[in-house]
Amino acid sequence: MVIMDISLVLPPEPDDRWTLAQQAGVHHAVFHSLEIGDGSRPYAYDDLLRIVNTYRDHGIEPAAFEGSVPLTDKTRLALDGRNEEIEQFCTLIRNLGELGVDVVCYDWMAGLRWARTSVTTPTRGDALTSAYDDGQMRRGPTPPAAKRTTEEDLWENLEFFLDRAVPVAEEAGVYLSLHPDDPPISDVRGMPRIVNSVEAYDRVLDLYDSPHNGITFCQGNFSAMGVDIPSTIRHFGDRINFVHFRDVDGPADDFVETWHDDGPTDMKAAMDAYRDVDFDGPIRPDHVPTMKGEDNSIPGYHIKGKLFAVSYMKGLLEK
């Protein structure tokens, strides 16, 4: 039977969340210091060695490095320093390969990272969730770089990056996993976005045809695209290298994030589809509501909702 690795974003230093994860039967970590941690983007071997060994010394396997990788708008927008940055990214890949961490998640969102217009929307039992309203978003300032960036620039820069990074990933045995633009719309405040549809992913996969050029299937974003989730999972099949398990209610320009057991997507059918395509990589619950007693300082990433989501996922995986 194919076993996927249920994982959680855990801080790089042990705290209660490590213990709670293990008590809930989660033994795989995702390193994502932009969400939980100090925002660092380590790529040197000794820095990675320390992080990886700290997890392993506590019985936790580091399954993926995400987001906080040395890849910024320098590369996405082909600014000065792009070649040096890609070199750092390639060093990260080689080093993670040496250390046995084989999934790296990155994204092509220039100007703004994942965007929400509210992180205090009340949901079941007055927990707090996040929401996006494009009309409200557009009233804010346009990022300066938006005026001189086209979709084609972003495609060209992505191809330039993949041509350099994928061969290194192949050699290192590391699986690159491109995260969708969140939300998956054509632009945020005038800054174009390109990784926002099934067709766009088909193009990405064609740019460099290799299992090491794959997808982070962030399910909530595909749900916001309005596509059928199980058949889309089957469409991409073995090019899915990493899964973010979550759901939203509403289209890409106007949605609310839901509890894992309370959204419109048939989560059981989704889990069955991952199993059908023999997905055996890391799968982590993504954004969860902030629950009672939590301060909402890291919206979407507090531990109580994650534990609820993990239990729900384990239930869905029961045969």
Question: Pick from 174, 218, 248, 316: which binds ligand CS2 (CB under 6 A)?
Answer: 218
Q: Check residue 105 for interaction with ligand CS2 (CB under 6 A).
A: yes
User: In the window 131-170, what residues touch ligand CS2 (CB under 6 A)?
Assistant: none
Q: What are the backbone dihedrals phi and psi of residue 98, each rounded to the nearest 5 degrees, phi first?
A: -60, -35
Q: Which of residues 14-73 bind ligand CS2 (CB under 6 A)?
A: 32, 66-67
Q: Which of 182, 247, 249, 257 binds ligand CS2 (CB under 6 A)?
A: 182
Q: Are 216 and 139 in contact (CB under 8 A)?
A: no
Q: Which is nearer to ligand CS2, 37 or 58 (CB)?
A: 37
Q: Which two tokens stand for residue 71?
A: 């890849």
Count of Cβ atoms closer than 10 Å to residue 273 Cβ = 22
CA atoms of 139 and 136, how far apart (whole Å): 6
Pick from 114, 155, 217, 259 the residue near ligand CS2 by CB under 6 A: 114
In the complex with ligand CS2, the residue whose CB is nearer, 123 or 223, is 223
Q: Which amino acid is at 8?
A: L
What is the four-CA torsion angle of 6, 12, 16, 19, rounded to 10 degrees? 40
To ligand CS2, the closest distance from the beta carbon of 99 in angstroms equals: 20
Region for residue 19 given its phi and psi (left: phi exceeds 0; alpha: psi -120 to 50; beta: otherwise): alpha
166 contacts 210 by C-beta, under 8 angstroms: yes
- 275 to 294, contacts with ligand CS2 by CB under 6 A? 286-287
2 versus 226: smaller Cβ distance to ligand CS2: 226
CB of 90 to ligand CS2, least distance (A): 18
Per DSSP, the residues of 266-284 read -HHHHHHHHHHTT--SEEE
User: Could you tell me the smallest distance in angstroms from the CB atom of residue 112 to ligand CS2?
Assistant: 11
Of 147 and 300, the one with the shorter C-beta distance to ligand CS2 is 300
Site for ligand CS2 in 230-249 (CB under 6 A): 244
Instruction: Identify which range of 103-111, 117-125, 143-151, 152-160 contacts ligand CS2 by CB under 6 A.
Output: 103-111
What is the β-pairing status of strands 282-285 and 5-9?
parallel
Question: Strands (DSSP E) along the chain, which ranges?
Answer: 5-9, 28-31, 61-66, 103-107, 118-123, 127-133, 175-179, 187-188, 191-192, 213-218, 240-245, 248-249, 254-257, 282-285
* Residue 257 makes contact with ligand CS2 by CB under 6 A: no
* Nearer to ligand CS2 (CB atom), residue 17 or residue 32: 32
- By the criterion CB under 6 A, which residues form the site for ligand CS2? 32, 66-67, 105-107, 113-114, 179, 182, 218, 244, 286-287
